[in-house]
Structure 1
């Protein structure tokens, strides 16, 4: 893997570019990403936080840590969200490096439990995540899997 994992809080100069990248991948309003990314740059808040994988000058992956990723179990927080790696960079350890970096940073911030929702059934287990329960996504017709990571 030849990319660098960076914390957006340390690189505010790419905030807008990162927000646009996430918006293109997930079709969540651009303004929502910008707002969340601006919140992470305030007084060293623990959540939200955003992490980017950069290769050269290209964003090849990213994820966020937010309070709730649009599901009914508000007690299971904070949540890893918007995990994405460009198709031509998958299977190269980018997602694992992003997850490892985010979990370590959150632990340094005093957060030793993270949650995420996903339709994947085996991917996250490779990185120490455990299936926890099924949750109902906001506006979703079916329940989806909730995972837990303990640092």
Structure 2
């Protein structure tokens, strides 16, 4: 495996596929947004600063990614930036890839001068807590309990 991390903006032919993976994985968040509309918004977000995404590639095969989102939770427009859209394809899991992607996004946020960043999750709070994230609050959305977490950079 010749794994490398690259910015999606340099590999836009993968944008629609990755957006579809996210739309499917987090379907509860996109229930009111058609796939094609999200794909367009996500693709635009690679250049307008809304969703810059770091992807993992094996050769030209897309394995996963993570984004540094400007905004990712409507109820908290006061917070940002966000770690968002974290996903690793099933065949590439269990190899520490998500951690590498998250660390890449952390480094980019730090490089941009942000003191901290945020995420929300409905079932991975323990995973993130082990990696330096702390719970800010719990809230109810999409018919489930959610966790809002923060990590200092």
Alpha-carbon spacing, 1:24–1:145, altered in 2? closer, same or farther (3 Å): closer
CA distance in 2, matches of 1:78, 1:135: 19
Q: Counterpart of 1:104? A: 107
Q: Is the Cα–Cα contact under 8 Å of residues 3 and 53 in structure 1 kept in the other structure?
A: yes
Q: Counterpart of 1:128? A: 132
Superposed displacement of residue 115, structure 1: 0.7
Q: Counterpart of 1:145? A: 147
TM-score, normalised relative to structure 1 = 0.80
Superposed displacement of residue 2, structure 1: 4.8
Q: Counterpart of 1:35? A: 41
Superposed displacement of residue 60, structure 1: 1.2
CA distance in 2, matches of 1:30, 1:101: 28
Equivalent positions of 1:50-61 (< 5 A) are: 50-61=53-64
Alpha-carbon spacing, 1:13–1:90, altered in 2? closer, same or farther (3 Å): closer
CA distance in 2, matches of 1:17, 1:125: 29
Alpha-carbon spacing, 1:132–1:122, altered in 2? closer, same or farther (3 Å): same
- SS at the partner of 2:102? helix
Q: Is the Cα–Cα contact under 8 Å of residues 15 and 42 in structure 2 kept in the other structure?
A: no
TM-score, normalised relative to structure 2 = 0.79
Gaps of 5+ in 1: none
CA distance in 1, matches of 2:145, 2:134: 17
RMSD over equivalenced CA pairs, Å = 2.3
Structure 1 runs (4+) deviating above 6 angstroms are none
